[in-house]
Structure 1
Amino acid sequence: MSPEKELEEVIHDDSSSERAMSVSSESTSESDSTTTVTKAELYDKLARQKHENKELRKQIQTLTEQNNTQTHEIHELKKQIIDMQLTLKAADANTRKLHTKIDKLLEQQTKDTTQKPSNLPPSSSSRADNTRKHKHDFSSDDDTPKPKKPDTNKNRTLQTPTPKTSANNATQNATRPQTPSAQTATPPTDKTPQVPPVILRKQDRWMEVQKLLTTQHIRYTKAKLINDGVAIYPCSPQDHRALTRTLTDKGEEYHTFTLSEERTLRVVIRGIPAGITPSEVQLDLEQQGFPGAIVHRMAGRQNRQEMPLVLVQAQADQESILQVTRCCSLVVRVERQRKQQVATQCHRCQRFGHGQSRCTAAPKCVKCGENHSTHECKKTRDTPARCANCAGPHPASYLGCPKYPKSKQTKTPVKTHTPTPTQTAANTQPTPAPTPGTSYADMTKKDTTTNTS
């Protein structure tokens, strides 16, 4: 090949490579422009999303503040309601005291009017002077006249006249029944409700809790060591509430009991089928004028099968719920809840003597005894149970557990049927023993003569 042809080929190759480079540069610029546009859109979207998130955070913060404000207002209202209830109780106590004083005054006035004498006896001072004057004269001087005893019958001016004055009048008047005002003279003794104790479960935490009570100015009468921990006895219901609130805030384990003024009325409604839900029963009771009632479906202890009974927790002043005869368009019977024949057991810590609603102790499983709630237990039926109280091979609710309170066990009395007697009163006399030497005819003759007489 000649040098000229070689030069032409080289020039042709250079031109083709230049065209290829220009095409690739154009495609690269186009891809860069599209990438730039996509990044800008993404930045815009990200900015908008951040702005929306910021607005949502503001709304959440506003709602949280409103919720906290409402919670604080509700708490303050509850405090005001409790204070008003205490004020009303104090006013009722003062009213009862005033009634007692009025009854005493009326009784005294009645006694003064009924026992007003016609001839007033000498005053106490004159009687004392006469006593001093004639103290030794009665024994030394026989001519000194002795004082006469006042006639008690003359002073009874307002009593009904008796047909004949005798010595038995004093006895009859002494045994005469008192008037209603005299019977109500003794004031009723108002028993102040006792404040239940608060049991601190961890004994080694007592010194820290005692310092906390001193700092919070929570009063208590005494604290003593018991089997379940340290029992703290608050002075008043207010101290009881402050103590439980403080222990809850500090995360202390304790259990206590319901205050007498916070106890509810627990009744059982019979005749509610299992197909009716507790919410439907609650709605029906609210329509009948019993708001705030809490309804639970009752089930059997052995098979846990639902029964046609519901347990209702109503307010203490809603005694009229016992008069309800219809519920959910059904004829029902309402009665007070019977006292349990078994000891109270906490479904949280599985110990006896208190309930779950007032316990903050660590949870224990009723099946395996481990530190978790019963509904979280994964024990199978093949795995043996373990008691949380005595570590025995049985559930913690077993009545035969050695830790079960023996004083709470009640034996069911055996009911025996006694037939109704059909004999008359005359025939129920015991038959006398036969007398030796007496025939049956003589005995029957004597009986007939006795009956005829």
Structure 2
Amino acid sequence: MTTLRSGHIIKLMPVDIETYKTIRDNLIKNNINHYTYKLKSEKTYRVVIRGLHASENIDMIKEELQAKGHAVRQIVNVLHRTTKEKLPLYFVDLEPQANNKDIFSIKYINHVKVTIEAPYKKKEVLQCKRCQRFGHCKNQCFRPFRCVKCGNDHPTSACTKTPESEAVCANCQGKHPASYKGCIKYKQ
């Protein structure tokens, strides 16, 4: 156990997975504000498939990958950012297994030449959409909600702030939304 930031945060580092799960379950059961990270053994192994047509049947892709020994959790056809049209690009999430890296050697899926590669790493700082703090995501956060627009203790979807009123940052109380990249807390 370590104390961070002059006593405001306590970091627990369990010695094994069972201890981690016990601590996490007790924190959730007792409704204690905290966040955690996903265990490496629970994380999916994500790859990108390029070269398949955008209208390709996802179930066919899944069947072919499973026939080649990969346990597929999910396949998502990527949509264009603005037009929302399907792109010839697929995100594939594999269950954690020893043979996950073998997927990069696959050259053909459904008789179509494909390229399988690792997804690009995002260069942005990770920000929680629940508590608006940096360094973790909402899936593992059990802290109270903080609004991205007004900084109050409610989900952003329940915010009643009008467009004319000034935004308030949940992190620094500045006059901007919590997602603003110029925020002093974001830069730190």
Q: TM-score, normalised by structure 2?
A: 0.75
Partner of 1:286: 62
Question: CA separation in 2, counterparts of 1:299 and 1:400?
Answer: 28
In structure 2, relative to structure 1, the CA distance for the partners of 1:249 and 1:284 (3 Å cut) is farther
Q: Give runs of aligned pairs for residues 27-426 of structure 1, distance below 5 A.
A: 222-226=1-5, 229-271=9-51, 281=58, 283-288=59-64, 289=66, 290-296=70-76, 298=78, 305=84, 308=87, 309-317=89-97, 318-325=100-107, 331-379=113-161, 381-406=163-188
Question: CA separation in 1, counterparts of 2:127 and 2:180?
Answer: 11
Task: Give the secondary-structure state (helix, strand or coil) at the position aligned to 2:116.
Answer: strand
Check the 8 A contact 1:346/1:353 in 2, yes or no: yes
In structure 2, relative to structure 1, the CA distance for the partners of 1:386 and 1:300 (3 Å cut) is farther
Task: Give the secondary-structure state (helix, strand or coil) at the position aligned to 1:235.
Answer: coil
Question: CA separation in 1, counterparts of 2:146 and 2:11?
Answer: 21
Check the 8 A contact 1:273/1:307 in 2, yes or no: no
Question: Which structure's residues are more often strand, by fraction?
Answer: 2
Deviation at 1:251, TM superposition (A): 1.1
Deviation at 1:403, TM superposition (A): 0.6
Deviation at 1:373, TM superposition (A): 2.6
Q: Which amino acid aligns with 2:151?
A: G
Q: Which amino acid aligns with 1:284?
A: M
Count of residues in correspondence between the two structures: 180
Deviation at 1:375, TM superposition (A): 3.6
Check the 8 A contact 2:181/2:187 in 1, yes or no: no
* Structure 1 range deviating more: 247-256 or 370-379: 370-379
Check the 8 A contact 1:297/1:306 in 2, yes or no: no
Check the 8 A contact 2:104/2:116 in 1, yes or no: yes
Task: Give the secondary-structure state (helix, strand or coil) at the position aligned to 1:369.
Answer: coil
Deviation at 1:234, TM superposition (A): 1.3
Structure 2 residue runs of 5 or longer lacking an equivalent are: none
Deviations 1:397-453, CA, capped at 9 Å, x for gaps = 2211111144xxxxxxxxxxxxxxxxxxxxxxxxxxxxxxxxxxxxxxxxxxxxxxx
Question: Which structure's residues are more often helix, by fraction?
Answer: 1
In structure 2, relative to structure 1, the CA distance for the partners of 1:298 and 1:352 (3 Å cut) is farther
Question: CA separation in 2, counterparts of 1:307 and 1:397?
Answer: 28
Q: TM-score, normalised by structure 1?
A: 0.35
Q: Which amino acid aligns with 2:20?
A: H
In structure 2, relative to structure 1, the CA distance for the partners of 1:251 and 1:305 (3 Å cut) is same
In structure 2, relative to structure 1, the CA distance for the partners of 1:237 and 1:310 (3 Å cut) is same
Q: Percent identity?
A: 32
Check the 8 A contact 2:62/2:75 in 1, yes or no: no
Task: Give the secondary-structure state (helix, strand or coil) at the position aligned to 2:20.
Answer: helix
Check the 8 A contact 1:269/1:335 in 2, yes or no: yes
Deviation at 1:240, TM superposition (A): 0.7
Q: Which amino acid aligns with 2:32?
A: E
Alpha-carbon RMSD: 3.1
Question: CA separation in 1, counterparts of 2:146 and 2:52?
Answer: 34
Deviation at 1:310, TM superposition (A): 3.5
In structure 2, relative to structure 1, the CA distance for the partners of 1:235 and 1:291 (3 Å cut) is closer
Deviation at 1:320, TM superposition (A): 3.0
Q: Radius of gyration: which is bigger? A: 1
Check the 8 A contact 2:37/2:136 in 1, yes or no: yes
Question: CA separation in 2, counterparts of 1:231 and 1:266?
Answer: 28
